[in-house]
């Protein structure tokens, strides 16, 4: 287990890739993690692209202790493919066609585990291969809000914001008295509502933005 001994490193990018969403790609408070390391030239489409994480690690099973970070961000692979052959797949990585659901579920649970109480988790997702409603089914906790960042001809990118709000002792007792799976049921019900709203949102005219539709 990698111990978090540096109090200045309180942000984790769990699958940083080429750090392209960062303004400061060497932010002093961030640990950049990825499962692979690639030198310049690994992609013929972008010869200057490189993947140089601070920590080589799989976001499905991380070596950090519980509650290590105040902020966790992730732009997970969203292409479903056995081989990384195209420009976008080489750039962003891929999900295995047969295990992507369980892989995402493990990854989201791990990111939640290393997130501190009242910490924030930000997820970026593109629905080119896996639709938002199918991705949300793999998350056992509820988003607070989200938005559309870009909308292309064949896909849309959204951001989702979560906060790890600990339950009080009284809430935990009530949940245990009602049902041992009450918490997961409430998350599931929320995600069903979100999926319905996402369907409605996806039918809005292109270029329309209304955060009130993200619930």
3-state secondary structure of 192: helix
Give the confidence band of 124 by pLDDT, cuts at 50, 70, 90. Answer: very high
Q: What is the pLDDT of residues 20-61, one digit of tens each?
A: 999 999 999 999 999 988 877 566 666 777 899 999 999 999
Helices (H), 65-181: 87-92, 100-114, 132-136, 169-178
Q: What is the pTM of this model?
A: 0.73
Express as a percent the part of the chain with pLDDT over 90: 45
Given a cut of 50, is residue 182 above it in pLDDT? no
φ/ψ of 38, rounded to 5, equals: -130, 135
CA-CA-CA-CA dihedral for 167, 117, 71, 69, to nearest 10: -150
Given a cut of 60, is residue 197 above it in pLDDT? no
User: Residue 191: inside a domain, yes or no?
Assistant: no
User: Residue 175: inside a domain, yes or no?
Assistant: no
Range of lowest pLDDT (17-21, 38-42, 59-63, 123-127) = 38-42
Q: Looking at residue 86, which CATH number applies to its domain?
A: 3.40.50.150
User: Residue 77: inside a domain, yes or no?
Assistant: yes
The per-residue pLDDT for 44 is 60
User: Residue 197: inside a domain, yes or no?
Assistant: no
User: Residue 6: inside a domain, yes or no?
Assistant: no
How many domains does the chain divide into? 1
Q: Which domain holds residue 95?
A: 11-166
Element (H, E) at 182: helix 182-202
Looking at the chain, which runs of residues are DSSP E strands?
Answer: 11-13, 30-34, 55-56, 69-74, 115-126, 145-151, 156-163
The per-residue pLDDT for 3 is 59
């Amino acid at each position: 287990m990698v111990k978090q001994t540096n109090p200045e490193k309180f942000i984790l990018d769990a699958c940083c890739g080429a750090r392209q969403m960062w303004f400061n790609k060497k932010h002093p408070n961030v640990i950049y993690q990825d499962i692979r390391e690639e030198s310049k030239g690994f992609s013929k489409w972008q010869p200057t692209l490189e993947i140089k994480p601070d920590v080589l690690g799989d976001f499905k099973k991380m070596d950090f202790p519980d509650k290590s970070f105040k902020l966790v961000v992730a732009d997970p692979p969203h292409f479903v493919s056995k081989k990384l052959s195209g420009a976008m797949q080489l750039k962003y990585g891929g999900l295995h066609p047969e295990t992507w659901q369980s892989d995402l579920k493990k990854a989201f649970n791990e990111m939640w585990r290393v997130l501190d109480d009242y910490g924030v988790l930000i997820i970026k997702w593109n629905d080119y291969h896996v639709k938002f409603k199918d991705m949300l089914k793999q998350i056992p906790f509820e988003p607070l809000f989200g938005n559309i960042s870009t909308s292309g001809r064949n896909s849309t990118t959204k951001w989702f914001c979560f906060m790890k709000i600990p339950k009080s002792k009284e809430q935990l007792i009530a949940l245990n008295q009602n049902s041992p799976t009450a918490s997961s049921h409430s998350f599931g019900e929320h995600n069903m509502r979100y999926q319905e709203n996402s369907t409605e949102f996806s039918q809005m005219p292109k270029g329309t933005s209304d955060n009130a539709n993200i619930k």
